[in-house]
Chain A
Amino acid sequence: MVPPSPAQATSALRRALVAIPFFGALGFAAYIDREPLDATRADAANPEFVLRDETQRAGITFVHHRPTFDRKIANVEPHVAALGASVSVADFDGDGWADLYFTNSAFGHPNALYHNKHDGTFEDVAASAGVADLNEPGVGVSMGSVWGDFDNDGREDLLVYRYGYLTLLKNVDGTHFADVTEAAGLKRWMNSNGAIWVDYDRDGLLDLYVTAYFRSDIDLWHLTTTKIMHNSFEYATNGGKNVLFHNLGGGKFADVTDQMGVGSTRWTLAAASADFNDDGWPDIYLANDYGPEELYLNDHGERFTLSTAGLEAESKSGMSVALGDVYNRGRLDVFVTNISERGYLFQNNNLRLNVLNETGKFRNVADPVVADAGWAWGAQFGDLNNDGSNELFVANGFISADRTHNYWYSMSKIAGANGALFEDAASWPAFGNLSLSGYEPSRVYLSRGLAGWADVAARVGVTDSLDGRAVALADLSNRGAVDVIVADQNQRPVLYRNQPAPGNHWIELSLHGSRSNRSAIGAEVTITTRDGQKQRRVVDGGMGFASQNDRRLHFGIGRNEFVDRVEIRWPSGERQTLQNPAIDQIVTVQEPR
């Protein structure tokens, strides 16, 4: 055997030295997969709030049932029928207590309107109110609802969007509702998963933006074709066309979609509205499945312009739009949920910092902790511990069925292929009883400011692994604590009653429009506390996924015993300032005439 030359020996020795960091790198790769990237445990040890599942105690017995469709798409029915659980909050009887409305999605299964009985319990009054039986052959099944006083009579009216016809239910006397859809000009078949009330032209009347998922010419119970699916997993534009209805007054609406330039066909799942660029006009932000998010900037109520705010560069599966002031800058930032699944897909949720006025763009600042919430659906920002900064509740899980086998492998075959091949539902592998990102636990992210987020779900008592869809926040007991309501697909909802640790202060604002719409939807409030912190919130006409929060705005203010200033920008454009308002109570504010 020929001995190695000195040069060969040196080379071999040096290769051996290279092997040390090489195998170290392999070891590091294995290590990071064992340790969650959440390096925040110490900080999150005391989140200062507890969420208790009090659904049963509250008397909420509602169970969501998913729809069934034409058997031609039986192979993908679990996927197509995986939406419809929703929750919206409104004080429909004007008693000062938040009530809850849940939608159902199977024929013959009623929706539920839970009246708040002021003692921590609720009573379903949907049937007597006339808002229960909305899921019937020929009209479709409910996918969600939004409340808003469209006729400014002081009572919250109800819009139910469906895979089927829209339905507008006028609140007649605080206890009964009348179907005024046809008279309002809203009888429109849409396969919708979202809608928001927004007074886009600031005329004091709430307009209506309805998103569409499947094309509106598709009747899912009587299919003439199975070519109903998206034509791309990333850049699909063959969804239903979103519609903007202008409130003409007198209970009439007109379709102004094309005139206003907001007819996206990108499989929109959620919308939210706020004045992102501080020009005084409400803009519209869309989360689109199989495509990039879209921001429509409002040009003085005359037209919307699709903005290139950096959103077009990331094409994902947007599910939900939540707005919140993430870093207490007095700006509304955006959180959009997406899909993550170990090994298969890390689309990553987007936490978009609003720097529109500085850069013309949003800046995605989602750290790995908040970016990966599994197959995430509805989300909402809320100050759950009243410390003055937002927490973030994220519901997730898509289809929980077989616990040992899932559809991800099948999904990987078609998701990576040319999407046009799978526009035909008949081409899809059969779902059978497979799960797809099932049994995922909800996430509750605690804000640590610039240091990022920590998931404290288990620590605060959120341990359910139901298929969460919609999340709504409301102070259900008027006690200065934000409760969480989650609507779960094909399952029961969960009411998490919040118990913040004592010591932190709060203020809630109940706004009532005069020149603006009576619901004050679109009003934006910025509070400034003595420590110089600013917080901004908007009265939403629908936010998250298939959800709407309490119209009263809740602000935690930590140990501050004063709020220096409350600045209200009403939808009419009116600006109002309150100095040193009382804290630890609900403050009612009427818009100056």
Chain B
Amino acid sequence: MTAKRPLDPRYLIAALITLVLVAAQLRYHMVGGYARLAVALGTCIVTEALLSWFVRGKVVNLQSAYISGLSLTLLLKPQGGVLYLFVLGGFLAIASKYVLQYRNNHLWNPTNFAISALLLLAPGHVSVLSHQWGNDIVTNLVIWTFGLVIASRVKVLHLTLTYVACFLVFNGARALASGQPLMPEIAPLTGPMYQLFIFFMITDPRTIVRDRRWQMVVVAIVAAVETAIRFASDQGTPLPVAFNVGPAFLALAIVGPIAKFIDLRRSPKPGAAATAPAGVYPSAAAAPSIPRSVGSAATS
């Protein structure tokens, strides 16, 4: 008789984003055409399969590529609806895991990297999700409920809640300091872009630091940097448009890799310890449930 293996948390995350995508499409046509889904998903999966085979000699679990593909489908809104930008975004997302590494760990959440890079480099051709969940508060509640339950199940709820709390406090303070009405400053949290951000990006187990307390500190720093970007935008500081459009994405793209780099640098050399961060899996015993062959390139 063999012991029952804990469920790989990525299955839950994949299930959640699938739920989000299906609900978003059926109710709000948010995908913008099934061709986008096919291209983004296909690109991510094919790129992951090819690169993992090429670099590691075997094809890794493609679940994280699936999550990246769905995230890009939802988030990326190209000029003219052209499809090649989904190819570009999908390739950049997955390839970043194999190229931008330190001690065999990638530093950026793949989707976050692709979105941030495209917004910085090609804002004339790319924007990010602007659709709302309609005006239906029930949809908001469903997404939040499922998101919070799954975040709790995969032990990343502290990250989501830390970010939400910091966002509210920091941006509330910013509104007070700048004499602006509070509602517009905290309202973005009710939109789908932020829900994707707090449930799928900032909680990525492969690109956060290991220690649970430091994870919360890093997330708080992300929120603080985002607030600083927003404050600069409030003041009319001439920033690249990417900072005004996606301050959360850019804040994570700046803070996340630095924190991860420091964390890796402080950790024992590869081979001396598991690279999977502690605290993000149901238990220490569960961590190895992520197939070792997946290596560090198997996150969304």
Contacts and interface: CB of A to CB of B under 8 A. Distances in A.
Contact of B187 (A364, A372, A414): A414
A26 B92 contact: yes
Nearest to A413: B184
Contacts of B133: 418
Given A15-B55, A420-B135, A346 B242 contact: no
Interface string A387-424: 00000000000000000110011101111111111100
Interface string A347-383: 0100000000000000010111101100000000000
Contacts of A14: 54-55
For chain A, which range describes its interface: under 10, 10 to 19, 20 to 34, or 35 or more residues? 35 or more
Interface in B113-139: 117-119, 121-127, 129-135, 137
B81 A29 contact: no
A211 interface: no
B100 to A, nearest CB: 8
Nearest to B269: A2
A29 B184 contact: no
A416 B191 contact: yes
B65 to A, nearest CB: 15
Contact of B244 (A23, A408, A415): A408
B190 A421 contact: yes
Contacts of A404: 236
Contact of B121 (A29, A234, A235, A410): A29
Contact of B184 (A345, A348, A414): A414
Contacts of A420: 135, 137
B115 to A, nearest CB: 11
Contacts of A346: 77-81, 125-127
Contacts of A25: 88, 91-92, 95
Given A25-B92, A233-B132, A418 B51 contact: no
Most buried by B among A17, A21, A26, A314: A26
A417 B28 contact: no
Interface string A1-41: 00000000001001101110111011011101100010000
A19 B188 contact: no
A574 interface: no
A416 B242 CA distance: 15
Contacts of B135: 231-232, 235-236, 418-420
A315 interface: yes
B206 to A, nearest CB: 17
A343 interface: yes
A21 B191 CA distance: 35
For chain B, which range describes its interface: under 10, 10 to 19, 20 to 34, or 35 or more residues? 35 or more
Contacts of B129: 416
B278 interface: no
Given A340-B79, A344-B241, A416-B132, A18 B29 contact: no
Contacts of A37: 79-80, 82, 125
B207 to A, nearest CB: 17
Interface in A418-438: 418-422, 427-429
Contact of A32 (B28, B122, B190, B245): B122
B136 to A, nearest CB: 8
A317 to B, nearest CB: 10
Contacts of B134: 232, 234-235, 419
A344 B127 contact: yes
Contacts of A232: 132, 134-135
Contacts of A408: 244
Given A313-B29, A372-B79, A415-B130, A343 B241 contact: yes
Contact of A343 (B180, B184, B244): B244
A29 B88 contact: yes
A22 B95 CA distance: 6
A342 interface: yes
B233 interface: yes
A90 B73 CA distance: 48
Interface string B72-93: 0000011111100000100110
A348 B188 contact: no
A418 B32 contact: no
A420 B190 CA distance: 10
A580 to B, nearest CB: 42
B101 interface: yes
A182 interface: no
Interface string B193-207: 110000000000000
Contacts of A368: 79-82, 125
A217 interface: no
B131 A234 contact: yes
Interface string B258-279: 0000000000000000000000
B213 interface: no
A312 interface: yes
B8 interface: no
A418 B187 contact: yes
A234 B55 contact: no
B236 to A, nearest CB: 5
B149 interface: no
Given A234-B131, A418-B133, A418-B190, A33 B95 contact: no
B123 A22 contact: no
Contact of B188 (A372, A416, A427): A416
A29 B117 contact: yes
A415 B55 CA distance: 42
Nearest to A416: B191
Nearest to A420: B135
Nearest to B189: A417
A19 B184 CA distance: 41
A536 B287 CA distance: 67
A15 B28 contact: no
Most buried by B among A344, A348, A367, A417: A417
Given A414-B184, A416-B188, A343 B132 contact: no
A21 B123 CA distance: 21
B98 A15 contact: yes
B99 interface: yes
A232 B51 CA distance: 42
A368 to B, nearest CB: 3
B275 to A, nearest CB: 15
B122 A33 contact: yes
Given A29-B88, A33-B122, A419-B134, 13 more contacts: A21-B91, A32-B122, A340-B79, A343-B126, A344-B127, A366-B81, A368-B81, A371-B80, A413-B188, A415-B130, A422-B183, A422-B184, A427-B183
22 contacts: A26-B92, A29-B92, A232-B134, A235-B28, A314-B29, A315-B29, A340-B79, A345-B127, A346-B125, A346-B126, A366-B80, A368-B79, A368-B82, A371-B79, A405-B236, A413-B185, A417-B189, A418-B133, A418-B190, A422-B184, A429-B181, A429-B184
Interface of B: 28-29, 32-33, 51, 54-56, 77-82, 88, 91-92, 95-96, 98-99, 101, 117-119, 121-127, 129-135, 137, 140, 180-181, 183-185, 187-194, 233-234, 236, 241-242, 244-245
Interface of A: 11, 14-15, 17-19, 21-23, 25-26, 28-30, 32-33, 37, 231-236, 312-315, 340-346, 348, 364, 366-369, 371-372, 404-405, 408-410, 412-422, 427-429
**Shortest beta-carbon contacts, A-B, top 8:** A368-B80, A343-B123, A417-B187, A232-B135, A416-B191, A343-B241, A418-B190, A371-B80
